[in-house]
Amino acid sequence: MATAEEVKEQINVQTAAIAALKKANAPKDQIQAEVKKLLDLKAQYKTFATNNNGNQKANANTGSKKNFTLKTPKGTKDYNDKEMAVREKIFNTIKTVFKRHGAVTIDTPVFELKEILMGKYGEDSKLIYDLQDQGGELCSLRYDLTVPFARFVAMNGSKYQNIKRYNIAKVYRRDQPSVARGRMREFVQCDFDIAGVYEPMVPDAEIVRIMKETLTALEIGDFTIKINHRKILDGMFEFCGVPKEKFRTISSAVDKLDKAPWEEVRKEMVELKGLPAEVADKIGTFVVCKGGREMCDFLEEKLGSNATAMEGINDMKLLMTYLEAFDVLDKISFDLSLARGLDYYTGVIYEAVSIAPPESGKKKKSDDEGNVGSVSGGGRYDNLVGMFSGNRTVPCVGFSIGVERIFSILLRKMKLEEVKANEVQVYVCSVGKGLLTEKMKICKELWDNDIKAEFMYKADPKLDKQFQVCEREKIPYAIIIGNEEIEKQVVKIKDQTNKESVVIPLERKKK
């Protein structure tokens, strides 16, 4: 960072440069550009002059007080080494499952042209972070990974009409943050999507299988995958007498049933959204229904006369057959109260709910206790790519895992202090003086052989101080050298678990 003096010097240099340009009759706009730079420098200098706690002093290390807030922006946080060890384990577990199903990964920028995101998130568009217009394109931080994926598929023409891809990356929402509930403005999503024209319900079934496999591998405890179908919802609304233009708004009311009781949702439908009471009551008889495969027959009996509903029911019959082959039925709940907020879903929708047991030794207070809610969700969105590519549509189906929820569930089960953040296997210790470079040489040998090793950055440390590090960092082996070992060209290796030692000859590889 520049000090005030340096900026002053830069101002002098820049003044001289402008004078030289003028003398040489340089083009006007070139001179103007240089004058602009000079003015910027002068403005910069001014901040030093008006601020006694400026960088000049801090740089000179005079111990002046900081003159700004030392924090991360609202709704964001740092993850320390132990937290990151847990998070990386989550990411790796998820990647392993995703790759098992043949997925590749693609990477898209953190920000997109603003117009790409516009009109995709309905009312939530106000939560999009915009970049400042600094003389260029108008850009916004991505709100999810689905729209950038659809933009990528649309942009690459026929090349990526078929793709199974995953993406683990940060997304941004200017929401009211709630750190306690793991709700952040910057957070990580893990998405898996399948694009392409395929046999009906086959990729959909694999997506649900991957949900089961991932959540099982993450060891978050018991969970249920709720499933429903947009066409069954629409058919049911039609059957009950909801006017077509109210399908989405009534659907978003139904979506609240996982948090609110039916009475409240009914009130919203009737009083706020103007639905006749008898229509709402009819909906009420449906949304309480949930079950397994047998729901298909039940619904066919009830809604068989409705063409839209029947399309959905037939899809679900096929899906259930495939889910049986994939051994997922035990986790499934065909749940008519599942609606999912996002408007772009067109077919099967699903949502996984974690059912954490009550904390040990405590009685469960209510059915809802320990229910941290949705940990994963998704569905089929056949028209999103078409919004970008005009007449060429690419059907897609996918799901997303909310890492922050998974992270908070896992943190409840472990003691963060006990997490080993580094992976060091061997700590190279010395007894006696003047052995620093000897320890370095041994570390070099270890590193050359891909063994994770460290030593104390101190010339002549005491042995107990070195053992304390082994203890604290949970390093399984210590190598100890002293003058005797060096003379005999041996090292002592101590197993930190059972405290046993062996002495082995030190054979250095000749290169």
Each residue 325-364 as x (binds its own copies by CB under 8 A) or -, in order, gives xxx---------------xx--------------------
C-alpha closest to that of 190 among 168, 212, 214, 163:
168
Residue selected from 248, 290, 317, 492 as contacting its own copies according to rule CB under 8 A: 248
Instruction: Considering only residues 106 through 165, tell me which ones interact with its own copies, judged by CB under 8 A.
Output: 106-113, 115-116, 119-123, 125-126, 129-134, 136-137, 139, 141, 151-152, 154-156, 160, 163-165
Q: Which residues contact residue 114 at a Cβ distance below 8 angstroms, ignoring those fewer than 6 apart? A: 130, 138, 139, 140
What pairs with residue 426 in β-bridges? 453, 477
Q: What angle do CA 147, 153, 158 make, to 5 degrees?
A: 165
One character per residue 282-301, x = contact with its own copies (rule: CB under 8 A): --------------------
For the bound state, the minimum distance from the C-beta of residue 360 to its own copies, rounded and expressed in Å, comes to 27
Number of chain positions touching its own copies (CB under 8 A): 143
Report the largest interatomic distance among the alpha carbons of the chain, rounded to a whole angstrom: 95
CA-wise closest residue to 311 among 321, 303, 302: 303
Site for its own copies in 59-98 (CB under 8 A): 59, 61, 63-66, 68-74, 76-81, 84-85, 87-88, 96
Q: Is the dihedral of CA 208, 212, 215, 221 positive or negative?
A: positive
3-state SS class at 60: coil
Q: Considering only residues 469-498, where is the footprint of its own copies by CB under 8 A?
A: none
CA-CA distance, 318 to 310, in Å (whole number)?
12
Q: How far is CA 10 from CA 36, 38, 42, 379, in A?
A: 13, 9, 9, 58
CA 41 to chain centre: 40
Residue among 370 and 461 whose Cβ is closer to its own copies:
461
Residue placing its CB nearer to its own copies in the complex, 297 or 324: 324
Q: Which residue lies nearer to its own copies by CB, 16 or 503?
A: 16
Terminal C-alpha separation, the chain: 43
Closest CA to 203 of 165, 246, 151, 160: 165
Rounded least distance, CB 185 to its own copies, Å: 9
Q: Is 103 a residue that touches its own copies (CB under 8 A)?
A: yes
DSSP for 408-450, written as a single string: HHHHHHS-GGG---S---EEEEE-SSS-HHHHHHHHHHHHHTT
CB closer to its own copies out of 322 and 335: 322
Interface positions, 298-327, toward its own copies (CB under 8 A): 321-322, 324-327
> Footprint of its own copies on residues 374-433 (CB under 8 A)?
383, 386-391, 393, 421-424
Residues 450-469 that bind its own copies (CB under 8 A): 450-454, 457-459
Region from 50-58, 291-299, 355-363, 367-375 binding its own copies, contact rule CB under 8 A: 50-58
* Residue number, 52 or 79, with CB nearest to its own copies: 79
Contact positions with its own copies (CB under 8 A) in 176-235: 186, 196, 198-199, 202-203, 205, 209, 213
DSSP code of 159? G
Smaller CB distance to its own copies: residue 87 or 293? 87
